[in-house]
Amino acid sequence: MPLGRKVRPSSASGHLETSTLSSILNELKETTDATDLLFRRAQTSLGAYRLPAVSPVSLSSFSEARGEEIEQLPEWLLKELLKGQQRSHSIGLMENILESESVRHRVDSSRSQWKGKIEQQVTLEQLQKLHVAFQDLEINGHKYLDVENFKRTLKKCMGSQNASDEQIEKLFMKIDCSATGRIRWHDFCTYMQLEYAEQHESSARLKEVSFALPATIKEIPHGEPVLKICSLLDSTLITAREDGLVSFWSPQLKLIRSKMVFEKAYRKSKWLMDFTVMTPYNKLILGTGDRELQLYESSNFEPYLQISGLEAIPLNVDYCYTDHDECMILYGDDQGCVNILLICSVGEVLRTWKKLPKLENLPNISLENATLSPNVTYIRWKVHGDWVTQLKYYDSIKAVISASSHEPTALVIGCVVGATNVEQQMKEIKEPRKDSKARKAQSVLGSPSCRAEGDQIVFRVHKGVKTFALSKKNNLIVTGGMDRIIRMWNPYMPGRPTGMLRGHMAPVFYVHISEEDKIFSMSTDNTVKIWDVEDQTCLCTACSKNSGIKGEISACHYIPGIRSLCVATDTLAILHLRLRSPPDPHLVTSHKKPVLCCKFNKVFRHVVSCCEGSVVKVWDFDSGKHLFEFGNAHGGSAVTCLAFDPSRRRLITGGRDGCLNVWNYNNGHCLHTLKREDKSDEVCDCTYVEVNKNKYIIGVGWDRRINLFYDSTENFHHFQKPQAHWQDDINRGHKEDILCIAQCPPTLLATSSYDGEIIVWNMISGHICRKFHTSIAAVTKPVDASVSRVIFLKTRAVKFESAAASLVSNGPQGHLYFWSLRAGDPLIASFAPSRGKSLITGIAVTADDSYLYAADEDGYVYVHDIKDYALQHPEQEAPKYVNHWRAHLNLVPSLEVIDEENILLSCSTDRTVRLWSLDGEYIGTFGQAEPWEIFTPSSWKHPMVPYEILIHPQSMPIHPVLEGKSSDLQLREQEKITQDPATPKEAISNPRLSPATVTTEDIQDEISKRLYANTSSRRLKHERSKLLNRRISHGGPNTYRTINYYEIDSFPGNCRKPDLSVLGTDIFSANYQGAARN
């Protein structure tokens, strides 16, 4: 491959050609080192140098030179740099030494945040140099390279400034996954090729898109074929048939209105050729076979006017609103011409034309008379040698694009008005025509003229172009036609296409480029394909059999509002894209499916996680960035467990397909597949052990046997069978599915099963050492007795004479059990760490077995001090409680304590993998947008907590009012009684007023009795709202609430004084009645 040729970055060679991007921190460090000699003071006797009071490199001057890169730094990193600039350094010796070390450590860790992998910095030229270097070494007798020779060779080919020893060593270990200490050129190339191939596949998985099949089909009345489909801004569809039947449809294909626009008397003589929507003026523009342009009101289909006497039949019609009260009407005809009507003062012109005499029930104006108006300009370009198949004006490029079946002029991009080529204008001036009147008449009548050579770009395409689409954002034109090939063009380079998409088996009928950089194409055999613009690969294919679209296709249209494709054949069909729900800006997930296991690799400082979707992801532990992933690890089956070999260079995964796979996880290469021939039962757990210098991979699962697979670097067979089973395993082993396995070097192995049995094995002899059974309290309901987690307390297990508990397991009813391998009664202690008595699903201990971390199925993590717990005698109480917090929403299947960094790693079926400090401080979730620096606590999320945990109802604090057990009045009375010193103790301990602790069982019983017979026992949010918002009965409204009130009418301010003389008079007497009448 020539070195100058550009390759798409999605390919392996494209990645190799990516340029090396230097980190701003590297430049900052280099500048500091360069100026350090000038500003460095005398060193102390201890070899430490004093930091200058004012740094020679200021952040302000640095940001001016590197403004763009500074903007990309996270906020916490800017704060740390500012701290380093503003710190006033002490002249004290020890303080200066400590600050020097802290600054160095901070800069180094920040640099690791932004550096890329060295294998991604290799260019094609450097790769060729490496090949030559390997060949020279092979000629000299060095077929293999050790790590030192590899360092020298890589530095020589890449330059010492581009590669550090640490980076090269890690690359060597990734290539030498078998830990043989030597590699060949073949190994190097295989690693590079597989890594980039898997990266390409993972990128393709992120771009996966599909249709919801089958399509939504709407039967339409039999008649002429649908000629064209358009959509409005609200996704309303407009269809038109050749006989003039125009219909409006909802996005759900419900008919809104329909009308035959051509009058009955003229229906047989008129045929619709094309139509478009004049959106600002609420009009439809129809081109007919009688060389007419007809305008109709789109709201009621009432005829408005028509322009008759066109030069040719308008086959394609388009409209564009160019400016205020200005527009452009374009149509391509059967003579290969592009006709353009430029109209100014559109509203006035249309109103004037509507007043003209009617012809065939339409106000009529001829094209010749229309062009006489000063507000109308008519232009006609002779563009193609055959009729126009498609035409559209793109305001983004201020040009008209038209297509034809004529090969030499298959696609033309041209100007709208006049010649912009100066040479062409000068030529016309030098060669004036003799008859100027004839020239004027020709321009008025619209006689076709040819554009200047500089005013158009002509594309020659084999067998012409049937359809095209433009994407201004990608500077791309896509064409399709009779040769079944979709071509991708640069609009300004007509020589050859930039890409060719092959896959259709019939002529391409329609193409469209969506805003998401996807190409939609449809062929005449009703096959729909979706292509990726960047990778130029097919993402989805929907054939006629799958989509249910039958018949001959007549029209097709992409609806951007609902991201669907509407197809017209004998029926109307809509193909909806399967839309991913919009991501919650506050919700961060590490996987798309529930995460089942995760582990930390201390050699590469990676975190590897696996999920039910058979995807393995590799994360950077120091920053949380996603480094790599590979899918279909177990053929689509869930990955249930994982383990590393002692060198930490290979990954072992077990899945529900019954296989154990050995990977070079740095490039996704499957080295071996371990499986029993007769069975394919699910593998639940696996581990890597060494017995008498022999190395084995052990897998356990639903086959109820301990399967040992011999691991050797000399075994080149891809598929391997297990070793012979232990005799005790066959005769006295587990009778139910084995769920978990744990080892304690050098000899002990523990397994647990679904029936609650735990067996401790001697790996050397294969004999059973001890058997344990978890106890179940007498309950009426059936209880899950399975033991899914066991772990050795290794500091205690190695003491053979000790009777202390050295094995911890989970068990039924949310208990943890401490077992002794030496005592007569093996069960030393048991307790339930979960306050809600939820099942414990994850267990981890620190390296010195001082602290135990237990996670339950509700996502809570509990910490207990077990340093002096269950050492000699049985314990009746629980160990000392230290802390607890909610780490996840759902079940936590895996916990791991990373003692070197004082970090806790957890994963959950809520699709997240998270890091915590051992004190419960939230560091971050793998997959979040903002990276962290593991050595910089200011970059952690603490004191924040995950958003979904914060808003979850179960995370809300327990309060008597929220639980409905006590009212606010009762709580106030209780506070008064408690604060009053004269109150007797009996009153204080009144059970009616004391806020008793309410357990989940109490809530469940109360709910089942009265309020929530059909709901869960969880304290859900809506249940609380029902209690808080329930209406209180007061025995009905009182008299005051039933009084009606009325508005008082205005009255004059002066009123007569009442006559008090009538007081004491009998108003019913005859004298009073007569006086009142008078």
> How many angstroms separate the CA atoms of 135 and 946, rounded?
54
Q: If you average pLDDT over residues 10-18, what whole number do you get?
A: 33
Three-state SS for 550? coil
C-beta atoms surrounding 64 within 10 Å: 10
> How many angstroms separate the CA atoms of 1021 and 1044, rounded?
39
- For residue 746, give both structure tokens: 């050098």
From residue 931, alpha-carbon distances to 117, 233, 738, 797, 900 in Å are: 17, 40, 39, 40, 21
pLDDT of residue 953: 85
Nearest Cα neighbor of 892 from 843, 849, 941 is 843
pLDDT of residue 256: 93
The string of pLDDT tens digits covering residues 803-816 is 889 999 999 888 99
The string of pLDDT tens digits covering residues 100-141 is 444 333 333 333 333 457 777 788 888 888 888 888 887 887
Question: Per-residue confidence at 97, pLDDT binned at 50, 70, 90?
Answer: very low
pLDDT of residue 523: 95
pLDDT of residue 65: 40
Cα 497–Cα 502–Cα 504 angle in degrees, nearest 5? 130
Residue 911: its H or E element: none
Q: pLDDT > 70: what percent of the chain? A: 73
Give 945: exposed, middle or buried? Use CB within 10 Å, 0-12, 13-18, 19+. middle
> How many angstroms separate the CA atoms of 171 and 255, rounded?
64
Q: Name which residue leads in pLDDT, 51 or 186.
A: 186
The string of pLDDT tens digits covering residues 944-994 is 999 999 888 887 766 555 555 555 556 566 665 555 555 454 444 443 334
Nearest Cα neighbor of 724 from 713, 741, 708, 746 is 708
Secondary structure of the chain: what % helix, strand, coil (to 5)?
25, 30, 45
The string of pLDDT tens digits covering residues 665-694 is 888 889 999 988 877 889 999 999 998 888
Question: Per-residue confidence at 36, pLDDT binned at 50, 70, 90?
Answer: very low
Three-state SS for 1045? coil
Q: Name which residue leads in pLDDT, 1062 or 309.
A: 309
pLDDT of residue 171: 86
Q: If you average pLDDT over residues 894-903, what whole number do you get?
A: 94
Contact between residue 933 and residue 939 where contact means Cβ atoms under 8 Å apart = yes
The mean of the pLDDT values for the chain is 79
Question: Taking the CA atoms of the chain, what radius of gyration do you get in angstroms?
Answer: 41
> How many angstroms separate the CA atoms of 430 and 804, rounded?
110
Of 356-360, 637-641, 841-845, which range is least confident? 356-360
pLDDT of residue 312: 92
> How many angstroms separate the CA atoms of 615 and 911, rounded?
12
Question: Per-residue confidence at 1017, pLDDT binned at 50, 70, 90?
Answer: very low
DSSP per position, 451-519: PPGGGEEEE--TT--SEEEEETTTTEEEEE-TTSEEEEEBTTB-SS-SEEEE--SS-EEEEEE-TTSEE
Question: Per-residue confidence at 1038, pLDDT binned at 50, 70, 90?
Answer: low
pLDDT beyond 90 at 721:
no
The string of pLDDT tens digits covering residues 488-526 is 999 999 989 999 999 999 999 999 999 989 999 999 999
pLDDT beyond 80 at 369:
yes
- For residue 940, give both structure tokens: 């952690």
pLDDT of residue 447: 72
pLDDT beyond 60 at 577:
yes
From residue 470, alpha-carbon distances to 391, 399, 501, 714 in Å are: 12, 11, 16, 57
Question: Per-residue confidence at 1037, pLDDT binned at 50, 70, 90?
Answer: low
Residue 910: its H or E element: none
Question: Per-residue confidence at 461, pLDDT binned at 50, 70, 90?
Answer: very high
pLDDT beyond 70 at 754:
yes
pLDDT of residue 280: 86
Q: Residue 873: what residue type?
A: H
- For residue 584, give both structure tokens: 């919650």
pLDDT of residue 263: 74
Q: If you average pLDDT over residues 1003-1025, what whole number do you get?
A: 46
